[in-house]
Structure 1
Amino acid sequence: MTRCTGARITVLDENFIDILLPSTPRIRRYNMDQHFNARYGELLAENGLCFLVETFTEAGSTTILFDAGLTAPVVLHNAHRLGVDLHDVEAIVLSHGHPDHFGGIEGVLEAIGHPTPVVAHPDAFNPRMIVKPHTTLPMINIGLTRDGVRKAGGHLMEVRDSVPLGPGLLTSGEMQTTADFELEAPVGRLCVHLDGRVEADDINDHQVLGIDVEGHGLIVIDPCGHRGVVSSIEHMRALTGTEKLYGVLGGFHTGHPGISANRIDNTAKALAAYEPQLIAPMHCSGFPLKKAVAELAPDAFEMVTAGTVLTIGDVPADTRTWR
């Protein structure tokens, strides 16, 4: 597969904002200078993820959205503040059918304003629930429907395999958990299949995004870690044939109640062992994993919050202005 020569990742939705974090040569942050400036204004944060991913070659560029946040108003507000023109989006990839990742899809599609391919696993649309000792959360993905996506302007591509989206840019397709310590997962998740069976929800629809940058290596965006972030990295290394991991970012699913210290410690050690340039636990990763990664790989660890713009490789000058 042809690699891209550079990539730019803009975080349009994430759980946190931190206006005190400084910018660096590879990371531009929306900080105090913008937040308290009436010309620009504050960003918003909520429990969700949405990435604008741009990849570049000498021949041109590709622009996609990976996930659509929890709500469209937050994604659209932040896109406006960051000077992002959503009309440039050529496709949307939904990582899986959980509301903190698909919630804004219809409003975002309407804002894009043109027919847009939406890549999703078919199981993302199966009814799913969470059963807890004190309550049941019925059909947590009730807001994700095929008709809703189509009416908003999305052209569904329901696929189980990897999809190439541009030079060096591809989805993982279905994955397996291959690291033993990542088999641990929260209990009580159920899925209703098309034939009416109610079974434990293995979240087979979960997929990650890979960006293979010439001369730098592989970037893996794992939005929620349902297969385990280490297993996701190994899957993408095998799929792309690129051994060198430049970086990994996203939600690593180590912040949920009941996740053991064993999984957290082993995840941090495995990530550090790759010796990447970037490790950015976000969203559902939790403070203990962030702390562990920061201690084991201080030069690679980054806090990536809403408004972060990350650049790797040969990237054209960012003409967007904060607005």
Structure 2
Amino acid sequence: MRKIINHWLKWTVLSDNRSDDSRLSTEHGLSIFLQTTNEREQYDACINIAERGGVRRSQTVRHKILLDTGASDVFIRNAEQLSIDLSDVDYVFISHGHSDHAGGLRYFLEHNQKAQVIVSPDAMSGKFFSKRGNLHSITTEWPEIDEDRLVLIDQTCEILEDLHAIAHIPQINPMPKGNRNLYVQDADGNYIHDDFRHELALYVDGLLFTGCAHSGLENILSACPWPVHSVVGGFHLLDGQETDDEIKALAQRLKAKYSETQFYTSHCTGDKVFEVMKDVMGEQLQSFRCGTIIA
């Protein structure tokens, strides 16, 4: 008799703002390699438990997914240092249209000839700008993508079993105040505040990838109808526009409502914000950086 006990997830950070490994490069960007595997326990009633142990384990790789591609080819160079073969990736997921998350896609497609690209059509068509400092473009220069490799997502849906995209996230709770510095250029050349309809979250067998969580971490969690054991991504709180009291209140709500969920963050969360949240959430909140491996 064969029984599936759980799906094993392993993820490795390939691009982030920081690294503790001198071999790895950094950038203002985010890219994570995620591998899912079936871990099965096999029970054979005909085997003498005392002699054979009664349990054999076998693992079958289910998916290899690249979560965002950072701003450049940093994720590729770091993957090589970590002996990760990106040519085997089955899916590349782009969380939103900003260049620090999708700028590396052109380099990925040069290394991988088969992966499907999961993305919002609004991410590909939008012209995005930031007013952090001087007004500047953060629009991704999209490479040519074969139509049969493109998976355009405009609503929450199942892509495969245990692989779901969450789209058009309802803005019930406040969005990060740092979004006030982020704009979309309309057809008339006017700059309007980004509503982040181009942002997606990805749910993979209990893990929720938030990208930058521009839509608001609480909103993304509320929009996810499936049980979440891990949240991975940025919280977009690094601009310092939220007060310490607001950050503490957010951490308290997360701790109370999602007590069984582990949170992993870096990139656009901010060091000060992380420390304030860490004081409230303790071991429930962890940071990551280039080279971090969680399994």
TM, length-normalised to structure 2:
0.82
Residue 243 of structure 2, aligned match among 251, 260, 271: 260
Q: Distance in 1 between matches of 2:155 and 2:85?
A: 30
Distance 1:269 1:278, change over 3 A: same
- Once the two structures are superposed, what CA deviation does each residue of 1:1-34 show, in whole Å capped at 9, x if it has no partner? x996121111111111124xxxxxxxxxxxxxxx
One-letter amino acid of the counterpart of residue 284, structure 2: A
- Once the two structures are superposed, what CA deviation does each residue of 1:44-78 show, in whole Å capped at 9, x if it has no partner? 11111101111223564111111001111x11111
Q: Which residue of 2 aligns with 1:96?
A: 96
Q: Which residue of 1 aligns with 2:33?
A: 52
Flag the structure with higher strand content: 2
Distance 1:259 1:78, change over 3 A: same
Q: Distance in 2 between matches of 1:8 and 1:194?
A: 42
Q: CA deviation at 1:221?
A: 1.7
One-letter amino acid of the counterpart of residue 85, structure 1: D
Distance 1:186 1:174, change over 3 A: closer
One-letter amino acid of the counterpart of residue 256, structure 1: D
Q: Which residue of 2 aligns with 1:207?
A: 200
Q: CA deviation at 1:116?
A: 2.7
One-letter amino acid of the counterpart of residue 156, structure 1: L
Q: CA deviation at 1:183?
A: 5.8
SS at match of 1:187: helix
Q: Distance in 2 between matches of 1:196 and 1:46?
A: 30
Give structure 2 stretches of 5+ with no counterpart: 41-59
Q: Which residue of 2 aligns with 1:80?
A: 80
Q: Which residue of 1 aligns with 2:167?
A: 173
- What does 1:84-233 align with in structure 2 at a 5 Å threshold? 84-112=84-112, 114-125=113-124, 126-131=126-131, 135-137=134-136, 139-141=137-139, 143-145=140-142, 148-150=143-145, 155-180=149-174, 182=175, 184-193=177-186, 198-212=191-205, 218-233=206-221
Distance 1:123 1:260, change over 3 A: farther
* Structure with more relative contact order (C-alpha pairs < 8 Å, separation 6 or more): 1
Q: Distance in 2 between matches of 1:11 and 1:271?
A: 24
One-letter amino acid of the counterpart of residue 219, structure 1: L
User: Over the residues paired in the alignment, what is the CA RMSD in angstroms?
Assistant: 2.6
Q: CA deviation at 1:196?
A: 6.3
One-letter amino acid of the counterpart of residue 264, structure 2: A
One-letter amino acid of the counterpart of residue 202, structure 2: L
Q: Which residue of 2 aligns with 1:297?
A: 281
Give structure 1 stretches of 5+ with no counterpart: 20-34, 36-41, 213-217, 312-323
Q: Which residue of 2 aligns with 1:70?
A: 71
Q: CA deviation at 1:265?
A: 1.9
- What does 1:25-64 align with in structure 2 at a 5 Å threshold? 35=22, 42-57=23-38, 60-64=61-65
Q: Look at both structures and tell me which one has the larger radius of gyration over its CA atoms.
A: 2
TM, length-normalised to structure 1:
0.75
Q: Which moved more, 1:195-204 or 1:262-271?
A: 195-204
- Once the two structures are superposed, what CA deviation does each residue of 1:145-170 show, in whole Å capped at 9, x if it has no partner? 3xx2327x983222212343443222
Q: Distance in 2 between matches of 1:208 and 1:4?
A: 23
Q: Which residue of 1 aligns with 2:269?
A: 285
- Once the two structures are superposed, what CA deviation does each residue of 1:242-283 show, in whole Å capped at 9, x if it has no partner? 2xx322121001111423334322221122221235222210
Distance 1:202 1:4, change over 3 A: farther
Q: CA deviation at 1:199?
A: 2.6
